[in-house]
Structure 1
């Protein structure tokens, strides 16, 4: 604690002065915290002198809350902050997955999906539980990896009766992760102009088994990706135009919800959403 106080004095950010009865003093307190690395080991011990106020104290009157400081690592999500933005990724989560599946020494691929289409032909896996476990882990990874949304949704469709070709597709995803484990989401500083942009697309009868189409969208707030999806449509469409319109309708519904959310929290968009 003394080192923290000496650092504040050497930086010229504070000085000890006698109090005056005419002044309204703001109370302060020392906050101690252990900063840990993603692997759980101790990074350093930190002490901070803070003024008692920021919303937290008012909430604590009604709810049992704690102020844990800036978020760095939570539920396998790693958060790195800088003066120009925030980077969220799951590098440790990916590396642990590769080690668990014994794919950490595999040759990396540059794409997560091959050209061959998956179907329901071939030999059933002797141990389908392993396939289901890996796919479940990959689903959680799509929180920070929108580039995996389509292919993970694809292999998830074969969870009930996975076959050898489906396991090979999952291994290709793992090989892709081997070469891109450091990828994630970058959120630059929000500019004064809040513009909402959306992109939508769909294939037509992409699944050779049930002839259903897969639609997807991604929505940006300024330059930050805030929402994305890739899912098989619920019905069989009769044309590529119908498939595109259905995907567009889902995108519009998502935008409507986001706009209403912004209204509820007091944000004002600078222009109408662009699709």
Structure 2
């Protein structure tokens, strides 16, 4: 839920039994927390540090988002906490089980990777980049396309998608 009024905003993000509340007026955040506590008896965990598998580290210079704990949990479930990290997400020609194990090894090498959002980025210009290739998927021969959108130097949206196949008649047209 998002509420805006007189240049201020309040955001409520709910996932199962976890609620994230943020916004510009602290008084409105406190009011929502009091109302929720009256209706449901909630536990305030303070500033955001972890939500839906994403760790949040806040500094004076910005915010760092990562999935270190989530990746460690996956590695632990697969009994691969002590594996040697792989430098790339995938190598060509692997059967499915070997691919899965290789991906876990790659994830181990990315434990400290994440997204950095600068606190002092005053550039509010939106910039977008896109890319595509021709039939790069070795299994389906389908093309891939991707885009990334930035607000200043901070990435705010991205996607990679395998394209639908192109029929011969539409290529010749």
Aligned to 1:54: 27
* Alpha carbons of structure 1 residues 182 and 59: separation in structure 2 relative to 1, 3 Å: same
| SS of the residue 2:116 aligns to | strand
CA distance in 2, matches of 1:107, 1:60: 45
**1:56 CA drift (Å):** 2.7
Structure with higher strand content: 2
1:126-145 matches, within 5 Å, as none
Aligned length: 140
Q: Does 2:75 correspond to 1:98?
A: yes
- Unaligned 5+ runs, structure 2: 1-25
Match of 2:107 among 177, 188, 198: 177
In the TM superposition, 1:95-174 aligns within 5 A as 95-114=72-91, 116=92, 165-174=95-104
**1:105 to 1:221, Cα distance in 2 relative to 1, 3 A:** same
Distance 1:210 1:93, change over 3 A: closer
Counterpart position of 2:149: 219
Residue aligned with 1:64, SS: helix
Greater helix content: 1
Does 1 or 2 have the higher relative contact order (CA < 8 Å, sep 6+)? 1
Asked whether the 8 Å contact 1:213–1:237 carries over to 2, the reply is no
Report how far residue 92 of structure 1 moved.
Answer: 1.1
Structure 1: 5+ residue runs without aligned partners? 1-52, 119-164, 243-275
1:232 matched to 2:162: yes
TM-score (normalizing by structure 1): 0.45
Are the structure 2 counterparts of residues 190 and 67 from structure 1 closer, same or farther at C-alpha, using a change threshold of 3 Å?
farther
Q: In 1, Cα distance between the equivalents of 2:114 and 2:55?
A: 10
